[in-house]
């Protein structure tokens, strides 16, 4: 899906990380069709792989960033998941509704 060759001998380098990130953000789209169709989210790794890789779909931030984090961890990177919020033009302290 990312259009990159795979080798079991990959070493987790900064250059590889930059290439993976670029491929991810340019080939895996944000899309919220399941939310609009009231289809519940399934954040299990197998379900995300099926939706995004096998069925060639995108997903919301929770889905695409979760699957990308799984990939990075399998390649030997350390990842930390965070919840985030949009604050531009908002008063108060809005709920965290995004995964980064």
Q: What is the mean pLDDT of the chain?
A: 89
Distance CA 64, CA 11 (A): 23
**Domain-located, residue 50:** yes
> Band of the pLDDT at 9, cuts 50, 70, 90?
confident
Query: Would you place residue 17 in the very low, low, confident or very high pLDDT band (cuts 50, 70, 90)?
Result: very high
9 assigned to some structural domain: no
Give me the domain span that covers residue 57.
14-99
pLDDT category of residue 88 using cuts at 50, 70 and 90: confident
Mean pLDDT of 72-97: 78
**Tens digits of residue pLDDT in 53-68:** 999 999 999 899 999 9
Neighbours of 63 (CB within 10 A): 24
> Is residue 3 assigned to a domain?
no
In a domain, 5, yes or no: no
Question: Burial of 75 by CB count in 10 Å (0-12 exposed, 13-18 middle, 19+ buried)?
Answer: middle
Domain with residue 62: its CATH number is: 3.30.2140.10
Per the structure, the count of domains in the chain is 1
């Amino acid at each position: 899906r990312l259009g990159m060759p795979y080798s079991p001998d990959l070493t987790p380098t900064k250059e590889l990380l930059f290439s993976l990130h670029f491929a991810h953000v340019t080939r895996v789209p944000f899309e919220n069709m399941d939310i609009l169709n009231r289809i519940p989210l399934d954040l299990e790794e197998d379900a995300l792989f099926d939706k995004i890789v096998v069925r060639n779909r995108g997903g919301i931030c929770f889905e695409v960033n979760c699957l990308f984090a799984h990939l990075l961890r399998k390649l030997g990177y350390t990842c930390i998941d965070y919840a985030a919020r949009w604050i531009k033009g908002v008063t108060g302290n809005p709920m965290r509704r995004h995964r980064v």
